[in-house]
Amino acid sequence: MAKRKDSSKKKRKGSGNGLLIAAVLLTILFLAGVMSLGALYYLEKNKEKPQTIPPKITEAAAWAASLKGTPDAPKTVEGGKSKFAGPEILGKTLGVIGLGAIGILVANTAVHFGMEVLGYDPYISVDAAWKLSRDIKHIQNVEDIYKECDYITIHVPLLDSTKKMINAEAIASMKENAVVLNFARDLLVDEEAIVKALAENKIKRYVSDFPNPTTAGNDKVILIPHLGASTAESEDNCAVMAVKEIKDFMENGNIRNSVNYPACDLGPVTSEGRVAVCHKNIPNMLGQLTSILASEGVNISNMMNKSRGDYSYTLLDTDVAVSATAVEKITAVEGVLKVRVVK
């Protein structure tokens, strides 16, 4: 299990450092492919002009570049920078729905820049929990995110249970002038409901990485052409990640980022034995597995069971190596699909 890094110390910035904060956020997040916080600053910077899309940070940079050859450029900058000024993200409340790899990065970075962060993830893994800043308030009910947050960013997979999770009912619970950011999957948001809420001034902005006819051309929608993985390093990084995850599965039985099975991570094998069982998600399965091991005189020192839809995955750490007889008995249980002795 990874050691926890203390990311609890907030870096408090004064109002004079607003553009510096924005520059740092945008640089880090564009390079990492995580754009939510950069968009947050841009929106907060221009909150006083809700009816039109105001000047972007890119336009501020273009204006500065246009001063080439201007003898009194420093004086011009001091006189003209006010049109790009705006409020801070400092002290605003960010709600992060989904605390996986990307959600944690967004949440922890926001804490460092002085935002109050609420995180929601009923299925957060042990490894993810270790990486999460202790300053982030873990919310048990997603409704609290809707009611309390100025900005709501979504970082969950697209499942039947999450499809259009941001719908008319969810939007009705949000604070007035809330901003919704979707850099995860397009169908997580009911965009027709979003457009209606924008027209009625129920929410202030919608930011999406998935342009489509429903949202394109709307003055209150900021669309980005799905740039999250558009980096020179992305393919190499994906290949490295895939190899690490396969290696972890082969050596420890842990599952991460599976298409059809739940995430299940019991960390490196430190016990004398570990058994991985793929089985159907039906009642009394765990009871049967543990009873078989008990009948063979095998003590379970640790275990984890996760399910997704009709299927489940169980990891069992034992004080002694599991015998072939025990494996045969587990395999014979109705609903068991595969048994693997990891160690």
Which helix (H) or strand (E) element contains residue 234? helix 234-252
Q: Mean pLDDT, to the nearest integer, of 267-286?
A: 95
Q: For position 41, what pLDDT does the model report?
A: 55
Q: For position 269, what pLDDT does the model report?
A: 95
Backbone angles phi, psi at 38, to 5 degrees: -60, -45
**CA 184 remoteness from chain centre:** 8
The pair of structure tokens assigned to 56 is 């972007």
Residue 312: pLDDT band with limits 50, 70, 90: very high
Q: For position 177, what pLDDT does the model report?
A: 87
Does residue 129 register a pLDDT over 90? no
Check if CATH label 3.40.50.720 holds for domain 15-223: yes
Does residue 96 register a pLDDT over 50? yes
The backbone region for 76, taken as left when phi is positive above 0, alpha when psi lies in -120 to 50, beta otherwise, is alpha
Q: Mean pLDDT, to the nearest integer, of 280-284?
A: 94
Q: Mean pLDDT, to the nearest integer, of 267-290?
A: 95
Q: Where in the chain is the domain with CATH 3.30.70.260?
A: 252-341
Per cent of the chain over pLDDT 90 is: 57
Q: Where in the chain is the domain with CATH 3.40.50.720?
A: 15-223
Q: For position 38, what pLDDT does the model report?
A: 52
Lowest mean pLDDT of 121-135, 182-196, 250-264, name the range. Answer: 121-135
Residue 137: pLDDT band with limits 50, 70, 90: very high
Higher pLDDT, 118 or 36: 118
Lowest mean pLDDT of 23-27, 183-187, 234-238, 324-328, name the range. Answer: 23-27
Reduced to 3 DSSP states, what percent helix, strand and coil does the chain have, rounded to the nearest 5?
40, 20, 45
Mean residue pLDDT across the chain: 83
Q: Over the Cα atoms of the chain, what is R_g? A: 24
Question: What's the CATH number of domain 252-341, 3.40.50.1170, 3.40.50.2000, 3.40.50.720, 3.30.70.260?
Answer: 3.30.70.260
Does residue 228 register a pLDDT over 90? no
Q: For position 196, what pLDDT does the model report?
A: 96
Residue 268: pLDDT band with limits 50, 70, 90: very high
Does residue 229 register a pLDDT over 50? yes
Does residue 51 register a pLDDT over 50? no
**Nearby residues of 3 by Cβ (< 8 Å), 6 or more positions away:** 130
Overall pTM surpassing 0.75 (yes/no): no
CA distance 265 to 129: 12
Does residue 209 register a pLDDT over 80? yes
Which helix (H) or strand (E) element contains residue 109? helix 101-112
Q: Mean pLDDT, to the nearest integer, of 57-65?
A: 81
Q: For position 62, what pLDDT does the model report?
A: 86
Per cent of the chain over pLDDT 70 is: 82
Q: For position 2, what pLDDT does the model report?
A: 41
Geometric angle at alpha carbon 117, from 114 and 120, rounded to 5°:
165
Which DSSP category does 211 fall into? -
Q: For position 334, what pLDDT does the model report?
A: 95
Residue 171: pLDDT band with limits 50, 70, 90: very high
